Structure 1
Amino acid sequence: MSDTQTLIENRPPSVAALFLERVAATPDAEAYRYPVPPASGEGPDDWKSLSWAQASERVFAIAAGLIELGVQPEQRVALASSTRVEWVLADLGIMCAGAATTTVYPQTNAEESAFILSDSESRVLIAEDAAQLDKAREKRAELPGLTHVVVIDPAGADVSEDWILSLAELEKRGAAHLEKNPDLIKEKVGAITPEQLATLIYTSGTTGRPKGVRLPHDNWSYMAKAIAATGLISGEDVQYLWLPLAHVFGKVLTSGQIEVGHVTAVDGRVDKIIENLPVVQPTYMAAVPRIFEKVYNGVAAKARAGGSGKYKIFQWAAAVSREYAKASQDSFRRTGTASVPFGLAAKHKVADALVYTKLREAFGGRLRACVSGSAALAPEIGYFFAGAGVHILEGYGLTESSAASFVNPGEAYRTGTVGKPLPGTEVRIADDGEILLRGPGIMEGYHGLPEKTAEVLESDGWFHTGDIGELSPDGYLRITDRKKDLIKTSGGKYIAPAEVEGQFKAVCPYVSNILVHGADRNFCTALIALDEPSILDWAKEKGLPATSYAEVVANAATVELIDGYVKELNEGLQRWQTIKKFKLLPRDLDIEHGELTPSLKLKRPVVEREYKHLIEEMYAGTREA
């Protein structure tokens, strides 16, 4: 048996047990960093740290506090909060109590929050602030099983009622409970079995009502060991964690960290990412493609604002970085070493001094790699960053597979693929191209939905992902599209919209979101939303009289600009894939209007329903309209 197999097969029954091992092994090492905003509200944040021992004190107090509130093993405790250090501590506290975490996005409205709390039968809700508490208060009559709400940040919240208490009060009660029962947590963790429910994550619901995905403790324990076995992270790393922890991609990052014991800086404020990177100076971070697209568009816009000379340099450097990345990856694939022709290396050195160095500094200067997941990254954007020395390792997984089923292997990564399966995970491609997965990361099933579970999970353990993909002879997976998102034109041609959309994002620096439409039509069209800061800067530069985003996108000059990029896109497509018509949307797509999931994935049915009139306009007068 190999060392990797031994590592994975000898995994502990739970991450709670793994956490106890980590605390015992490195009690004084730094575990978490978190920002404390200045009291005045102005100036930079003050970053504080918790050692593993200090973190465990709070985790055990939370666990004991929940037990004192009457929470039993496997009973659900819901967590409705943005990404912050208390989320991580509370989740570990829930697990150490033997209970299970129900995750709720803070953006979720009161009605859907109530559905999740009710469907999961959550006994306690840990709410971030007054706004999250108010949702529970509004729907309390519909939640007879909810006995308590614990508020992390009670400022402005009414916690006078006896069913509401602050997190500080819960920890205080827990600490007192532990004084009388010092071995309580050790006993609770010792009693956890691998099959016991650890997490109930509700899918973002790109279609229909969210389903609760049941992930037992063994899923997370396996993930912790398998991520460590890839060799991609070590105890010396500093991770910057900002992804939503209610999402499986954010949550899985906490398991790998506990196994290897590195530092994690936690701050979910997306508007602080650019400010935080030079302060945190991470060695690795995970992100969704939209973040890399925004950085790319931002760098391009900054170069353009510097005048035509600077923009030409940027365009040249971007072309060099892509050529360099493709050549070095191709060389590594063939020979095992990344080498490029002398002339290209010389051009790359000049471009590095002019452009790439500044880009790496913006990421904090120490970034070894980024992991990208949740949706496909446009390969041309991936190659740009790769050539600039910001290595983006695409990965793949679903909520139903505990997030990390595939990841690109370090130096041998290949842009445009999601890499190889994690040790212990099996993959096969069905006759219709669907990706099937089997292994210790696969869910137990959907909560209370045996028929839905049977639709995707076979009796022999194979899980139907609903994604279409191809495996290379040496095991690299390329995702081509969602099975249900494939478009079949009236001419019988199949089109993968995500592929076309990704190519457009690499071509057009102003795009924010794009949806390609064409099912049962005789040509493809697109709804395009632009990146507001970039297009407003362009409008100002061009002296357009328009001042608001809606006015700018309605201007004929803007339509002409985007038309140029659509024509450029079409040059590289098959005839049946080309975009014949497009419409610019009057505003960008967002989570608040339900058009994007909290992990920034496009909800196609919602967008197509909302902008049906624009789609129909594009097909008006054609034969099939």
Structure 2
Amino acid sequence: MAAPYVPFPVVDHQGPLDLEKQSVEVPGTKRPGQTAHYRNALRDLVDLKTKDTPHNLREAFENGLAIAGPNAPCLGERKLISQDPVRWSDTFEWQTWETVDKRRRALGSGLYKLFQDGAVSPGALRTIGIWSRNTANWQLTEMSCHLFNLVTVALYDTLGPDAVEYVINHAETSIVFASPRNIPALLKLSSRTPCLKIIVSMEDLSSEQKGILTAWSDSRGIQLMTVSEIEASGRQNLIPPLPPSNESITTVCYTSGTTGVPKGALLTQGGLAIAARGILSDTGDLAGRPFVQLSYLPLAHIFERVMEIISITVGGCIGFGTGDPLRLVEDIQILKPTLLPSVPRVMNRVVSAAMAASKAGGIKGALFNRALQVKMANFHKNGSTTHAFWDRLVFSKIQAVLGGRLAFMGLGAAPMNADSVNFLKIASNAFFVLTGYGMTEMCGCGTRTHPRDYTSAGFVGPPCIGIEIKLIDVPALGYTSEDRPNPRGEVCLRGVPRFLGYLKDEVNTKAALDEEGWYHSGDVGEMDPKGRLRIIDRVKNIMKLSQGEYVAIERVESLYSASSVVGQLYVHGDSLQSYLVAVLVPDPVQLASIASVVTGTIVALENQEKLQKAMLDPRVVDVLLKELDKEAEKTGLQGFERIKRLHVTSVQFTVEEGTMTPTFKLRRKEAHAKFKQEIDAMYALGEARAPSHL
């Protein structure tokens, strides 16, 4: 009989804590054109040889089980009570750790048997597709795969049907777990995904649903099953789990490429386990508190995935809400989470709603502003986030919106304004509001602000304890490792969490990974004297919106420019905003025609005064935006890639003024500087509704 698992402790930093030096240069690693290698100065580097830490995802589960105990809650969800009208239960129904342990073994056995029996093809990696909203069965499916070294491939809606087809074929995925609403889409794609043999409904189907979908599946030569059916098969044919492997590939996590073709990053069990451990470090102040996490960010994205691994590792529990953004606050208030991974796009709404009180006027506005002033002054003085009087009188309402017992908020996927981060710290009353920097290729782990560093807003912190970082010169953008007062350059990372490469993509793998094992992120960073990283630019024109979606700006511009209304076009994205704006120099012939129709008078091509006036007419701008949206619809641009606000001008971009290169390519920084006032004004208006014709 195996010895009982002894869990590793969640410990704070041992010894004196010097936040003036949060990362340290490794001696002898400085070379021309790059900084030295930076490591976390407060903790030793963690790798697969480190004791007292899980080394794979199976050990992570065993660690959590040993901490929580078999009868503690593990996975919970709200149940849909009624479809018409839509009504959800007002409580979370929980499965214990013991139940989840038994279910993952049964489901894993059933899945492995399908491969053994030849019902599904192993392909190169024995991949299991998952296309569903976040549910307990999503997490359970992935846990079951960990036991048998099966490889998950998460699909998400923003990739679009063409990309789903591409991913299934590229990963040679012959079995896909799907929510009932996605099953018809898979069946429609089936003629173009010959490797797909089995579709598994993530939820039990009514007899009517199952009859219709089974008939349709049979006509396509695909078997339809449910999770409970595979589980039942596994219980009757339990298979001992395979020996755990730290280096085995556990998931292919697809990210959007610059050409629109997703790239599949190969991530290992050890990489994800060490990434979770790195993000968890120095959170000893949470010891003895329950870890209750709300799962609402898509599990197909690496940030949510690694945060749930953290909850599992420490014996916490994860609640899966409705998946409806309009019910997010309701989910939070019912669950009352202590751990909330979130993104700036969501938290900015909380900040904006709360700050509206500062403009309310009267006693209410005066009280809010006084409370904010006092708490912010205390915070900047000594890091204090609590105040007995003002918390009870003013900020308790904000805390109630977030469930009332929040202890740890992790902000990732995109940068957030420093003032907003500090407001969340003093308003939420959470122990930690931490920001970090990571990417799929590093299992979501790179840097993370220290819990006790109250001056960290605007930074993404020192390297996590499993990561090394260096900055290399970017001469084309004027960033060098010798810059003063702080070194600057492209951020390169390595460590156990680093991906192995992109599936079947040697070209992009070689472009991302060098011969020494460094991942070249494409982000430009600056290291401050305290050893904290700040992200300041991109090497290439790919940017991330506030909700975490990547946008290849030049590609978007190119697609829009096929429209006949475009003379010149500059598309702009801001990582603190959730949408794109643009500056359009319209084709004068098209402008004259549109202006004539809109105004009901003849606007001649040579009448510059009337053309100038037309460009200021909101009705004309609306028609031009609708014309651009027709091009977006035709070319299949995703919602987050579409222009939401438009500034129309006759002022062209030119080589002479420096906004165009001699080869007539747009100089983006100069273009932004030229129209900064107009761009700021568009963002001040907020996101517009989609044009009425779509």
Q: TM-score, normalised by structure 2?
A: 0.66
Deviation at 1:259, TM superposition (A): 1.6
Given the alignment, which residue of 427, 440, 462 partners 2:518? Answer: 462
Return the alpha-carbon distance in structure 1 between the equivalents of residues 536 and 627 of structure 2.
26
Aligned counterpart, 2:111: 66
Distance 1:75 1:310, change over 3 A: farther
1:18 to 60, 69, 72: 60
Whether the aligned pair in 2 keeps the contact of 1:318 and 1:384 (CA below 8 Å) is no
* Cα separation, 1, equivalents of 2:584 and 2:472: 26
Query: 1 or 2 for the larger relative contact order (CA 8 Å, sep ≥6)?
Result: 2
- Specify which of 468, 479, 500 is matched with residue 426 of structure 1: 468
| TM-fit CA distance, 1:61 | 1.5
In structure 2, do the counterparts of structure 1 residues 452 and 205 end up closer, same or farther at CA, with 3 Å as the change threshold? Answer: closer
Measured against aligned partners, the alpha-carbon deviations of 1:429-471 in whole angstroms (never above 9, x if no partner) come to 2122211111111100011111111111111111111111111
Q: What is the percent sequence identity of the aligned residues?
A: 23
Q: 1:134 to 1:24 in 2, by over 3 A?
A: same
Partner Cα distance (1:375, 1:351) in 2: 31
Deviates more, 1:202-211 or 1:369-378: 202-211
Deviation for aligned residue 1:121: 0.8
Tell me how far apart the structure 1 counterparts of residues 189 and 170 of structure 2 sit (CA, whole Å).
14
Residue 27 of structure 1: aligned partner? 70
3-state SS in 1 of match to 2:237: helix
Q: Which residue of structure 2 lines up, in the alignment, with residue 258 of structure 1?
A: 312
SS at match of 1:252: helix
Residue 623 of structure 1: how far off its partner (Å): 6.2
> CA separation in 2, counterparts of 1:363 and 1:438?
36
Measure, in 2, the Cα distance between the counterparts of 1:326 and 1:429.
35
Which residues of 2 match residues 49-198 of structure 1 at below 5 A? 49-70=94-115, 74-129=125-180, 131-153=181-203, 154-155=205-206, 156-157=209-210, 158-160=213-215, 161=218, 163-178=223-238, 181=239, 184-185=240-241, 188=242, 190=243, 192-198=244-250
**Contact 2:179 2:202 (C-alpha < 8 Å) held by counterparts:** yes
Following superposition, the deviation at residue 412 of structure 1 comes to 1.5
Aligned partners of 2:399 and 2:86: how far apart in 1? 29
**Which residue, 401, 412, 420 being the options, matches 1:373?**
412
Match of 1:618 in 2: 649
Give the drift of 1:142. 2.2
> Which residue of the other structure, out of 450, 453, 467, is the alignment partner of 1:412?
453
**341, 347, 361: which is aligned to 1:286?**
341
1:576 — aligned with what?
Answer: none
Hey, what's the Cα distance between the residues in 2 that align with 1:264 and 1:372? 18
> Counterparts of 1:584 and 1:476 in 2: how far apart (Å)?
45
Q: CA deviation at 1:350?
A: 6.4
Contact kept in structure 2, 1:467 and 1:483, CA below 8 Å: yes
Separation of aligned partners in 2, 1:22 and 1:463: 31
Does residue 1:230 correspond to 2:310, yes or no? no
How far apart, in 1, do the equivalents of 2:226 and 2:384 lie? 58
Q: Is residue 497 of structure 2 the alignment partner of residue 445 of structure 1? A: no
SS in 2 for 1:70: helix
Among 239, 247, 258, the residue aligned to 2:301: 247
Which SS does the other structure have where 1:53 is aligned?
A: helix
Q: Which residue of 1 aligns with 2:607?
A: none
Larger Rg: 2
**Count of aligned residue pairs for this structure pair:** 516
2:272 pairs, out of 217, 220, 232, with: 220
Question: Partner amino acid for 1:195?
Answer: E
The 2-side partners of 1:300 and 1:314 are apart by 12
Letter in 2 for 1:96: L
How far does residue 555 in structure 1 lie from its aligned partner after superposition? 9.2
Write the distance in 1 (CA, Å) between the matches of 2:71 and 2:355. Answer: 44
**RMSD (Å), alpha carbons:** 4.0
Q: In 1, Cα distance between the equivalents of 2:342 and 2:634?
A: 20
Corresponding position: 1:481 with 2:534:
no
Whether contact under 8 Å (1:37, 1:45) holds in the other structure is: no
Say which SS state the counterpart of residue 202 (structure 1) adopts: strand
Counterpart of 2:408, as a letter, is A
Match of 1:398 among 439, 459, 462: 439
Relative to structure 1, the CA distance from residue 139 to residue 238 in structure 2 (aligned partners, 3 Å threshold; closer, same or farther) is same
* Partners of 1:164 and 1:64 in 2: CA distance: 18
- C-alpha distance 368-592 of structure 1, shift in aligned 2 (>3 A): farther
1:270 equivalent in structure 2: 325
Separation of aligned partners in 2, 1:513 and 1:351: 35
**Do the aligned partners of residues 91 and 5 (structure 1) sit closer, same or farther apart at CA in structure 2, a change above 3 Å counting?**
same
In structure 2, what is the Cα distance between the partners aligned to 1:383 and 1:591?
Answer: 40
Q: Residues 423 and 619 (structure 1 numbering): CA distance in 2 closer, same or farther, change over 3 Å? A: farther
**1:527 alignment counterpart:** none
- CA distance, structure 1, for counterparts of residue 171 and residue 575 of structure 2: 36
What is the deviation of 1:388?
A: 2.0
SS of residue paired to 1:446: coil
Q: For 2:46 and 2:159, how far apart are their aligned partners in 1?
A: 41
> 1:204: Cα distance to partner?
3.5
Shift of 1:272: 1.9
8 Å CA contact 1:109, 1:135 repeated in 2: no
Show CA shifts across 1:20-64 (max 9, x none): 454456222221221113347446433111111101121112111
Matched, 1:309 2:362: yes
In the alignment, the residues of structure 2 paired with residue 128 and residue 298 of structure 1 have an alpha-carbon distance, to the nearest angstrom, of 33
Distance 1:141 1:292 in 2: 42
Q: Could you list the runs of 5+ residues in structure 2 that have no partner in the other structure?
A: 1-13, 15-42, 117-121, 475-488, 544-552, 554-570, 586-616, 661-694
Alignment check: 8 A CA contact 1:152 1:167 kept = yes
Shift of 1:318: 8.2
Relative to structure 1, the CA distance from residue 595 to residue 416 in structure 2 (aligned partners, 3 Å threshold; closer, same or farther) is farther
Equivalent residue number for residue 334 of structure 1: none
Pairing partner for 2:263 from 206, 211, 234: 211
| Alignment match of 1:472 (pick from 528, 538, 549) | 528
Aligned to 1:545: none
- d(CA) in 1 for partners of 2:404, 2:312: 25
> Which TM-score applies when normalising by structure 1?
0.73
Distance 1:439 1:127 in 2: 33
Seen in structure 2, the aligned counterparts of structure 1 residues 225 and 382 have a Cα distance that, compared at 3 Å, is closer
C-alpha distance in 2, partners of 1:206/1:143? Answer: 24
CA contact (8 A) 2:414 2:575 kept: no
Q: 1:288 to 1:204 in 2, by over 3 A?
A: farther
SS at match of 1:285: strand
Change (3 A) 1:400 1:385: same
How much does 1:314 deviate? 7.5
Q: Summarize deviations over 1:247-295 as a string: whole Å, max 9, x none.
A: 0011111221222111221223322211122221111211110001112
The answer as to whether partners of 1:223 and 1:255 remain within 8 angstroms in 2 is no
What's the CA shift for 1:164?
Answer: 1.1
Give the C-alpha shift of residue 97 in structure 1.
2.3
Instruction: Give me the whole-angstrom Cα distance separating, in 2, the residues matched to 1:164 and 1:105.
Output: 21
For residues 22 and 415 of structure 1, the distance between their equivalents in structure 2, rounded to whole angstroms, comes to 31
> Is contact 2:357-2:368 (8 Å) kept?
no
Q: Offset of 1:122 from its aligned partner?
A: 0.9
Match of 2:369, SS? helix
